[in-house]
Structures are given as structure tokens and as C-alpha cells.
Structure 1
Amino acid sequence: MADLDLIILGSLLGMPAHGYQLKQNIELTYGKRYVNLSNSRLYPRLSKLEADGYIEGKREPQEKVPDRKTFHVTPAGIERLKELVATPLGPREDEFDFLARASFFGLITADERRKIIEPLYQAKVNELAEARKKREQFGQYMDKFSLAVLDYGIAAIGNTVEMYRKLLDAE
């Protein structure tokens, strides 16, 4: 799963929010399937980010209900977000982790982006070549269902290669 700090800081960079609003924004943006964000996970993380100086909270009084705290990213938080975005993917990270970072590639340099994207791009180019070779060698022997699945996989890999290429070429 993508780094929760990256997701929180990135979400707050776009729009300051109180805890409940932030949780809703994250779930809407990333989906509950990818980010299982309970209150018992979110609020301690917000406290830690605030204690570290990456976010700042401001209490807002409300009528007949407890005050709420709206958070925004500090300059130190922006620098921390840049560090998180520029960190190469680890061995246990997946496409979701990449896409979460890629959403904020505008914060880092082209060289930093290239270090993250190039290895993934090369791996996908190789995977695409192997899939096309399999299609060429065995396609005539496959039933229509297996062939449809293989063709779908080839198209999906091709789309990923195209996205990586666009990200590499982006200025």
C-alpha cells in the first residue's frame, strides 16, 4: 500500500481539510480497496505529522458540537512530500504505490522522476515483448477465451508502457 504520509500530505496540499473531510477525500480519490483508512489509523498519523512539523492544525469553533481542527501542509511538509515522491519503489510496492507517487511528480525534478520510472518502464517493455512472442508462438493453438485474456493482457501492458513513456517525456 502506498505510504500513508504521502497520501495525507498530497491530499492536504491540494486542499486543507479537517480529519473527517480528509478521510472522505482520500477514500474518494484512492478508493477504500487501496487505502483502508480507519479513524484509529488516521488521527494518530495526523498527530504525528503535526508533531513533526509537516502539517499545522487550526481549531475551528462550531455551534453545539466539539471544535474541529483543519490541517494544512507546512513548507517542511512540502519538502517531506517531495522526498516521499522521489523515493524509488521498494520491492513490496506495486502499481498503486507508483500511481500514488506519480500523481505528485510535478513536485520533483525530471532526473528524480527518471530514476523512478526507467526501471519500471524497461521491465514493462520486456514483459510486453514476451507476451507478444507468446501470442505469436501459441496463439493459433489457444481457444478463443484464453486468446481473449492474452490479448487483453497485451493491451494492458501496452497501455502501461505508453503511460510510462509519457511520464518520462513530460517536462
Structure 2
Amino acid sequence: MLDANHWYRRTEALELGRALERLDFAWYEEPMEEASISSYQWLAQQLAVPVIGPETAGGKHFVRAEWIRAGACDILRAGVDDCGGIGATLKAVHLAEAFNMDCEIHGNGSGNLAVLGGSESGRWYERGLLHPHVDFDRPPPHRHSVVDAVDAEGLVAMPTAPGLGDDWNLGHIAAHTVDTW
């Protein structure tokens, strides 16, 4: 897959998309500004490589329904952090299922992992591996462990702990609490 992060105009996005087709990419993500559904409709109609979206567009599951209706994507994209939480993301997943589409979950963490675990429409789990300032295998101070650790085979297991599987460091949280009510 390629996540172009809103970088291109239509003709540039089409040119890059055709190159991705020749390279047999799994999907093409966010090449243009997502506010222009008609631009994505135009692009999706011209490419064989699946166009995925919208990733970060506001409007929860409602805007994703508009993308499906317009034929602006071949694979739907939604995530807990930018789609309005677990409930709205599940609604987006169900929209995709109703139209026989995959819905790939955007982002990592316990909420997205739970949505993916309760869905049949996603094939991948997005987890950070490389970042100059973030060690994705080390838990942040407010957690005792990483909820989505990668095993020796490169797989992420579903959490078995209660709730979403987070192992909170309640001592750290209490020590850094500013106020309670």
C-alpha cells in the first residue's frame, strides 16, 4: 500500500496510481485532499489498484456512506481516533459489509484492535514500526505493557485482559492527575 497523505493533484495522483498498478500494490491511500469526494470518484473510476478512503475526513460514518454512494473508494477506511470512537467506527465497518467492501481500520491501539477483532471486513492491522522518535515496542509511562505487541512471526494477538486489554499504570496516572471531581 501507499499512503500519499494528500500530497497530489488529480493528474499527479492518476500518474502515481498507474505506477502502483504496475507494481501490484494492495491499495492506494490518501493521494489527494479528502474533502473533494468528486476527485476520488474520478480517480477510482480510472484505476485498477483499489483506492481506499477516507482516512481522516470528518463526519464519522455519515461521510463514509457518501464516499460509498459516490463510488469514491474501493475499500473503506475508518479508525477509532478519527471516525468518532468505537461505535461510529463499527457503523462504518457495517456500511462496508453492507456493500460487500473491505473496511481497513486506520491506526493502532486497543480501540482499533477491538473493532478489527469484531469484524470480518478488514484484512490488515496498522501498527507503527518505524518512527524516529517513537519506540512502538516500549509502553508509554501510563501503561505497563504494549496492547498490540508484535510476536516473532510478525503477528499481533487479540488482548485477553478484561475490557479493551489495556494494562494501565494506575500509579503513574494518579501521580500525574491534576484534578478530580
Greater RCO (CA < 8 Å, at least 6 residues apart): 1
Per the normalisation by structure 1, the TM-score is: 0.26
More helix by share: 1
Superposition TM-score, scaled by structure 2 size: 0.25
Radius of gyration: which is bigger? 1
